[in-house]
A and B are shown apart, each in its own frame.
Chain A
Amino acid sequence: MQLIAESLAAERSGELVFSDISFSLDKGDGLIITGPNGAGKSTLLRVIAGLLPSLGGSLEFESGDSWTGLADACHYLGHKNAMKDALSVRENLTFWQAFYGPPHMTIDDALNYVGLQSTADLPFGYLSTGQRRRISIAKLLINYRPVWLLDEPTAGLDADSEQVVSHLLREHLDDGDIAIVATHLPLGLEGLKELKLELHP
């Protein structure tokens, strides 16, 4: 499995956000994207996920398996949690599991992993910010995808939960999968590549 980006560039409403971004990730590689607010971390992730067109450059993804493309093989965790307030946690996760195809882990196991099994039957809207984030991290586990694109996964989390996320990422990478994480907090992970975005003048 390989993910290679060459001189990617993107613009938002006519203004260049970043240009000439290159990286290459092999099996088990993680990439941390850092940089000040507005440097284009989220934009880069959205370009990689295929939600935004890139202005130039190329993005190549080779999977050994049956994945048809990067969009097919990735989990994208954006700023928003993609959960409905009116539905219970279990209903939300059940929907995404069915939507994403073959399940990887049961919902109870995934909730156990993030330590929120007691909230399964509460409406998602009742949870606190940190709990909501942890539920969407549990969403990464219920279906298997080799590439994780995480945008500030630890936003709003307490120290213990940050540990859980680091641990989860470590396991994901040790399995030979790929992760790209935009963050400005140190995740306590070693051996990751780092990509620093600068504010564009």
Chain B
Amino acid sequence: MALFLREIRLGIRAGGGALVGVLFFLAVVAVIPFGVGPDLNLLARIGPAILWIGALLASLLGLDRLFQADRDDGSLDLMIIASHRQMLVLTVFTKCAAHWVISALPLVVATPLLGLFMNVEPLGIAAACLTLLVGTPAITFIGAAGAALAVTLPRGGLLVSVIILPLVIPVLIFGVAATRGAVADPDPFLPPFLILAALSMFFAVIGPVAAAAALKHSSD
């Protein structure tokens, strides 16, 4: 709990970079209508997918710093040493939860505004928010494993993205499928949405375990 509060504080203080993701999300989605042109039907059709891709890329941005900041100032060593008392898996889980709150939750909040840009109907915007809310934890937890693997590399940012991208593709597929299912009539909403929720819960367990194992062997 103390760790959670510390991470949130760090995120919102100067240099925390919590807002960078939202700005990036805003930039990506805002330029699409200019690039595609004022075809409202087309925008409405690709809207959910663009929202999801933007959110996915934005949440990849800050991931490489998840453990590297702690490694740089020596905190990570102490967390690994303390792992008998405070299980490292729980420490990682807490860090992920805090990271999700400061970097992914703002994306969900910004989605309604950006949905308007894309001429997505209100029901679709609600569905996009809901799927992002349920789906982005999976991205964070997968990302934690990637970030832990690349923690010793000085410029591991891009590498983290490349490592985890194949794993987050299913999240993207089911997230977009569920969002589209809410607006396009023949497509179902509930099955892909439930799979998305299952993915999040699955990776909430697997991700921290994998990340903790990687961190334990990272120290040199």
Contacts and interface: CB of A to CB of B under 8 A. Distances in A.
A46 interface: yes
Interface stretch (B43-51, B79-87, B98-106): B79-87
Given A50-B81, A100-B82, A91 B3 contact: no
A101 B10 contact: no
A146 to B, nearest CB: 14
B2 interface: yes
Interface stretch (B13-21, B124-132, B178-186, B205-213): B13-21
- Interface size, A (range): 20 to 34
Interface in B175-220: 219-220
A79 interface: yes
B41 interface: no
A82 B75 contact: yes
B74 A86 contact: no
B60 to A, nearest CB: 23
Interface residues of B, number: 27
Contacts of B86: 99
A86 B14 contact: yes
A71 B82 CA distance: 7
A118 interface: no
Contacts of B74: 78-82
Interface in A82-139: 82-87, 91, 94-96, 98-101
Nearest to B84: A72
A82 B83 CA distance: 16
Interface string B1-38: 11101100110011110000000000000000000000
B213 to A, nearest CB: 14
Nearest to A124: B73
A68 B83 CA distance: 11
Given A76-B81, A80-B73, A100-B82, A87 B13 contact: yes
Contacts of A83: 73, 75
A38 interface: no
A12 interface: yes
A192 interface: no
Interface string A13-56: 00000000000000000000000000000000010011110000
Contact of B85 (A50, A85, A95, A101): A101
A176 interface: no
A69 interface: yes
A143 to B, nearest CB: 10
B81 A74 contact: yes
Nearest to A101: B85
A81 to B, nearest CB: 6
A131 B78 CA distance: 20
- Pick the most buried of B5, B74, B219, B220: most chain A CB atoms within 10 A of its CB: B74
Contact of B73 (A69, A84, A100): A84
A83 B72 CA distance: 10
B73 A78 contact: no
A125 to B, nearest CB: 9
Given A49-B81, A71-B83, A72-B84, A95 B73 contact: no
Q: Which 6 A-B pairs have the closest CB atoms?
A: A80-B74, A98-B2, A82-B74, A86-B13, A72-B84, A82-B75
Given A81-B73, A91-B9, A98-B1, 9 more contacts: A49-B81, A51-B219, A52-B220, A69-B84, A80-B73, A84-B73, A86-B9, A87-B6, A99-B2
8 contacts: A46-B219, A50-B81, A69-B84, A82-B78, A86-B13, A95-B3, A98-B2, A100-B85
